[in-house]
């Protein structure tokens, strides 16, 4: 297949990640309802949303590979979103202090020519140190990660908050499982780095 690739995401982080393996692609805003359904697990939610995002561009791009991805962060089994402000970020980091939290990232690759969907869920665990109020305040003032689920940037100063990171692909934590995406793209005849 020609290198006709679409990223169905408005995330600047996902765009930066995809540029590592594919310098040329287009982005669309999938504009879908991301509300969880009653009784939906985090894994079910991110898989459904990733697939819906990938399908959102199928009529506009009839002969393309379309990537959809979605991520949630769970602290003590509860889904937490992007904090949006300082107060919510403080609350999220206090809840994460001393805990291991899990990120679930859904990934979907839709071939709009063959109408084939490939999708999966990748997980990543972040173990937090015991965080003092002073460290939380100082970190948030330095990085202001208010648009990041979990209230931190692992690729930035957030590293000072952690006891451990566990997962197959550090890109998964940022929002796009590149190792697994590369395998999916190759299975569709897509040339990486082209």
133 is catalytic: no
**Alpha-carbon span 150 to 81, nearest angstrom:** 7
Alpha helices of 20-164 — where are they, by DSSP H?
A: 42-55, 86-96, 133-143
The tens digit of pLDDT for each residue in 71-84 reads 999 998 889 889 99
Domain map of the chain by residue range? Answer: 5-187
User: Has this prediction a pTM greater than 0.75?
Assistant: yes
Instruction: Give the pLDDT of residue 2.
Output: 53
CATH topology of domain 5-187: Maf protein (3.90.950)
Catalytic residue among 70, 122, 133, 169: 70
The tens digit of pLDDT for each residue in 38-56 reads 999 999 999 999 999 999 9
* Token pair in block for residue 73: 């962060």
The answer, yes or no, to whether residue 191 has pLDDT greater than 70, is: yes
Instruction: Give the pLDDT of residue 81.
Output: 86
Beta strands in 54-181, from DSSP E residues, in sequence order: 65-75, 78-80, 100-111, 116-128, 162-166
Place of tokens 């140190």: 129
The tens digit of pLDDT for each residue in 89-136 reads 999 999 999 999 999 999 999 999 999 999 999 999 999 999 999 999
């Amino acid at each position: 297949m020609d290198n006709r690739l679409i990223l169905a995401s408005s995330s600047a982080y996902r765009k930066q990640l995809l540029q590592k393996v594919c310098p040329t692609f287009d982005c669309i805003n999938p504009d879908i309802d991301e509300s969880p359904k009653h009784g939906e697990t985090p894994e079910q939610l991110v898989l459904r949303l990733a697939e819906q995002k990938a399908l959102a561009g199928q009529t506009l791009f009839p002969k393309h590979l379309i990537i959809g991805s979605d991520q949630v962060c769970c602290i003590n089994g509860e889904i937490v979103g992007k904090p949006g402000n300082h107060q919510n970020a403080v609350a999220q980091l206090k809840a994460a202090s001393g805990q291991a939290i899990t990120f679930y990232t859904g990934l979907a690759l839709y071939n709009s020519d063959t109408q084939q969907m490939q999708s999966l869920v990748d997980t990543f665990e972040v173990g937090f140190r015991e965080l003092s109020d002073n460290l939380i305040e100082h970190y948030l003032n330095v990085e202001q990660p208010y648009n990041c689920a979990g209230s931190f940037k692992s690729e930035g100063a957030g590293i000072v908050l952690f006891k451990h990171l566990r997962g197959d692909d550090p890109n998964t934590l940022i929002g796009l499982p590149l190792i697994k995406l590369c395998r999916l793209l190759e299975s569709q005849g897509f040339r990486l780095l082209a």
